[in-house]
Amino acid sequence: MVRQVKRAFRYRFYPTDEQAAELSRTFGCVRLVYNKALEERTRAWYGEQRRISYMESSAALTEWKKTGELAFLGEVSSVPLQQALRHLQTAFTSFFAKRAQYPRYKSRKRSRASAEYTRSAFTWREGELTLAKMSGPLDIRWSRPLPQGAEPSTVTVSRDAAGRWFVSLLCEDTVTEAPATGAAVGIDAGITSLVTLSTGEKIANPRHERRDRARLARAQRQLSRKAKGSANREKARRKVARVHARIADRRRDFLHKLTTRLVRENQTVVIEDLAVRNLLKNGRLARAISDASWTELRFMLEYKCAWYGRELVVIDRWFPSSKLCGACGTVAARMPLNVRVWTCECGAVHDRDVNAARNVLAAGLAAAACGDGVRPQRESSRTGQSSMKQETQRATAGTPRP
């Protein structure tokens, strides 16, 4: 089966000094418009219990451009500014629907510098991209070709903390479903082993952040010695950002290869629903959990399964996968964190992680057959924990704080 999907193709590009200055101004204006519109909406909501629509914000933007202090907003393309208002509208829609928290202001230092251009604000001709307010095309490094005959509908330009420039082209792409296979796999995520499969295979955690921790610490020490506001401090900050970018790139590459392999080899993939945000509140675990990047792993599995005709089943996070005997179904009353191999009353000997992955698979297949998620009775927070919480605590127990 062939389906059409919206797919973003991201490339690095090298702007001229003129283009870099224009884009930097656009980034600043986008952030200003977003924050100012958020301020107006907040005042109206908390002061008058009144909601401001996108059309009202757009009309206000027109009035802002007519004032003396904000007249510079008219010097950049209007499309990225309008897109910022649309993004704010989407954020408020999600907030009122209780799908997200209240929108936050964009910080000049911490927020991602980006601008989105729709079809009316760029020219695509013979494989060259020219943005509004620019005289020449962007110098893009085409690391992979676009789909045959595809034209971008939206272009997003961004600059990361390391000073690298990227352009993301949203295009229609044709995706062919992978050949059907009867295989199914259960996945138990962890830190020592990034994932343990129901087949018994354990995939080691590359620990990308730990591998570059000494280099990162050295760069951060050099940054701390530089005077604030100096050119040398900016150079040192870029050096720290490059180390972080290197870690993130390697982690993303590894997760793409892992998830692509899992989706190609299996018709059904079963995972646990992890409360990663709650786990990150533990200071001793946050660094290791962030390095494992379980949320990114699940996100990749979700869209790749949807693209290639696979089934992704997510079971309840409180399912006692580690303490459940896969042979007789007995749930152990207690499972200390240092127990990695345990013997059930029936005599079955289990590897903790492999047993958990097999139990996850069995629960997922049962849920898929019933057409519903697995919702077993939730364990008491005083007597039990999810297998993921136990795994993360075990992996970091006895280690010094990062």
| Catalytic residue of the set 22, 209, 316, 353 | 353
3-state secondary structure 161-227: CCCCEEEEEEEEEEEECCCCCCCEEEEEECCCEEEEECCCCEEECCCHHHHCHHHHHHHHHHHHCCC
The values of phi and psi at residue 401, to 5°, are -65, 140
Where b means 16+ CB within 10 Å and e means fewer, 208-221 reads: bbeebbeebeebee
Tokens 């992979």 sit at which residue? Answer: 144
| Catalytic residue of the set 188, 209, 291, 316 | 188
CB 24 within 8 A of CB 133: no
| Catalytic residue of the set 116, 272, 316, 391 | 272
Tokens of 299: 């996100």
CB 308 within 8 A of CB 266: no
* Euclidean distance between CA atoms 83 and 244, whole angstroms: 29
Q: Dihedral of CA 125/130/134/139: which sign?
A: negative
Find residue 350's DSSP bridge partners: 342
Pairing of strands 113-118, 193-197: unpaired
* Euclidean distance between CA atoms 98 and 140, whole angstroms: 40
Tokens of 308: 């290639």
Tokens of 241: 């950002």
**Residue 392: count of CB within 10 angstroms of its CB:** 27
CB 212 within 8 A of CB 46: no
Active-site residue, 291 included: no
Catalytic residues: 188, 272, 353
